[in-house]
Chains A and B, each alone.
Chain A
Amino acid sequence: DADVTQTPRNRITKTGKRIMLECSQTKGHDRMYWYRQDPGLGLRLIYYSFDVKDINKGEISDGYSVSRQAQAKFSLSLESAIPNQTALYFCATSDSQGIGYTFGSGTRLTVV
């Protein structure tokens, strides 16, 4: 099994729908992250969590929310999806030093 598992792998949804992207990790790390990747823009941080009770906004958190259900699980929600949230979404985890992030395979989300 992969160290970081993201579901679904691909999703097409309609504008205005609520959607949840899920992430689980088996690394035993406390830190988890959600990034968004757009062509030509690299990866941008949406939210991050340093432990179950610690949730922080990243640089582009508007329109997104997260839930840290357990040390191993960190989900990302789009409350009301809009077309410009079409992107590739990555979950990652790291140790407490933030060295060598481990990424999931990504969720390709299309909002139509």
Chain B
Amino acid sequence: SQQGEEDPQALSIQEGENATMNCSYKTSINNLQWYRQNSGRGLVHLILIRSNEREKHSGRLRVTLDTSKKSSSLLITASRAADTASYFCATDGHGNNRLAFGKGNQVVVIP
């Protein structure tokens, strides 16, 4: 069964604004990963946060993880039109060794 489940959002924001999306999961994890998918293309790995980490940054991306609430958020700061995509969280499930993906959040950045 899928472990990562994003809040069912479709965000539409203006270029320059921040975009935040959330993910919840059901079981304990080793790590949680975020991926981006441009329309109809393969997923691209963005960032990984381990279960013993609470926050991680990579460029304009900021990921938080709250293991007590089994939730994560992805923040994209100063959004650009090129950030228009679907964003998926994925969890490995403790001892599972394979990723389960959520349903994805669609983000549209308006120039």
Interface residues of A (CB under 8 A from B): 4, 33, 35, 40-45, 48, 50, 58-59, 88, 90, 92, 98-106, 108
Contact = CB atoms under 8 A, between A and B. Distances in A.
21 contacts: A4-B42, A35-B101, A41-B103, A42-B103, A43-B101, A45-B99, A50-B97, A58-B98, A90-B43, A92-B43, A98-B92, A99-B33, A99-B48, A100-B33, A100-B48, A101-B35, A101-B43, A101-B90, A104-B42, A106-B40, A108-B40
Interface residues of B, number: 23
B100 interface: yes
A103 B44 contact: yes
B45 interface: yes
A35 B33 CA distance: 16
Nearest to B1: A59
